[in-house]
Amino acid sequence: MNTAVRAVLLCLALAGCVDSTAPQAGATPKGEGGFVERNGHGLDYHVYVPGSYTGAQVVPLVVFLHGCNGDAMEQATVTSGWSAQAEAAGFIAVFPQAPPPLACWWFTNPVANSQRDGGEPAAIAGITQDVIAEWNIDRKRVWLDGYSAGGTLTAAIGATWPDLYAAIGMVEGCPYMCTDATGELAYRAMGEHARPLPVFMVSGTAGGYVVGGLVNLQQWLSTDDLADDGEFNGSVARSAASSEQGTSGRGLPYTVDRYNGSSGRVLIEQWVVQGMTHEYPEPGGDLPDATAGAWAFFQQHPFE
């Protein structure tokens, strides 16, 4: 059994290859903005340009990667609501479409899709750079978010392109290579661009939490510790600096833990929802809004 097949089976075992939210077809968010279709680097992608955009001012950019077997437009308009968030806040959002037949990021070729200069990381980085060149993007405020398999690719891109994205977000995604509990692989992948990368993550205890929650957190705490000063010395603390509890409209308790970097600022934020399955906590639903949470986190983490 080859590496790609094993990885897909692992993904399926974690419920990471199926978009279980089953969104209904959505529409363009209310406002004067709309989607522009593009193709580049072997992928189709949809660019949402808000009605407030004139080209005279620089605006942020968010790239969102959909889940496996997912449709970029459905997840742009319904599941994640990132296009509506872009309209409301006045930034540009990009939604690449994974190619058929699986429409699944990363898992089809884990090794190639974990490298900086090849595979899907290079393609998504190339799309991001093309959008930066075509629209008036604030280079210090470029962020990457992803769900499920898209979250797993986000981890790979965060490790290989930390100089392009100021921060990343993941909902139900694997850590780098889906196995990097020590954080050393992601740190080595950063190479000369190594830096403590701000990370926002959401997971449910009934949806692959061991890998997508516990291991994911430990990997990024360790990677950021190493990237901080080149040594594994606790410069990024393993204990949360703050912790908040709440209860969702579905009646599921959740915790928000924030971990500080060596500067004393929040570097990693993790949401854990008790009893949540493998799903995206969408805007207007009965779970904490993962899109609003990621957007709030991103705004606090531009390139300095």
The pLDDT tens digits of the residues spanning 200-219 come to 999 999 988 888 899 999 99
Nearest alpha-carbon partner for 63 in 87, 42, 83: 83
Check whether 16 has a pLDDT greater than 50. Answer: no
The letter for the amino acid at 14 is: L
Q: Which helix (H) or strand (E) holds 145?
A: strand 137-147
Percent of the chain past pLDDT 70, that is, above it, reads 90
For residue 27, the model assigns a pLDDT of: 41
> Across residues 224-251, what is the average pLDDT?
96
Percent of the chain past pLDDT 90, that is, above it, reads 86
Asked if 45 and 36 touch (Cβ cutoff 8 Å), the reply is no
> Across residues 177-189, what is the average pLDDT?
93
Check whether 224 has a pLDDT greater than 80. Answer: yes
> Across residues 288-299, what is the average pLDDT?
98
> Across residues 234-262, what is the average pLDDT?
97
For residue 212, the model assigns a pLDDT of: 84
Mean pLDDT of the chain, nearest integer: 91
Global pTM? Answer: 0.91
For residue 181, the model assigns a pLDDT of: 81
Check whether 304 has a pLDDT greater than 50. Answer: yes
Altogether, the residues listed in the chain come to a count of: 304
> Across residues 67-81, what is the average pLDDT?
96
For residue 30, the model assigns a pLDDT of: 57
Please, which residues have CB within 8 angstroms of residue 138's CB and are 6 or more apart in sequence?
58, 59, 60, 61, 302
Asked if 169 and 155 touch (Cβ cutoff 8 Å), the reply is no
For residue 10, the model assigns a pLDDT of: 42
> Across residues 90-104, what is the average pLDDT?
96
Cα gap 201→175, rounded to integer Å: 10
> Across residues 43-51, what is the average pLDDT?
98
Show the CA angle centred on residue 244, arms to residues 181 and 303, nearest 5°. Answer: 60
Backbone φ and ψ of 76, nearest 5°: -70, -40
pLDDT band at 125 (very low <50, low <70, confident <90, very high): very high
Cα gap 218→240, rounded to integer Å: 12
For residue 166, the model assigns a pLDDT of: 98
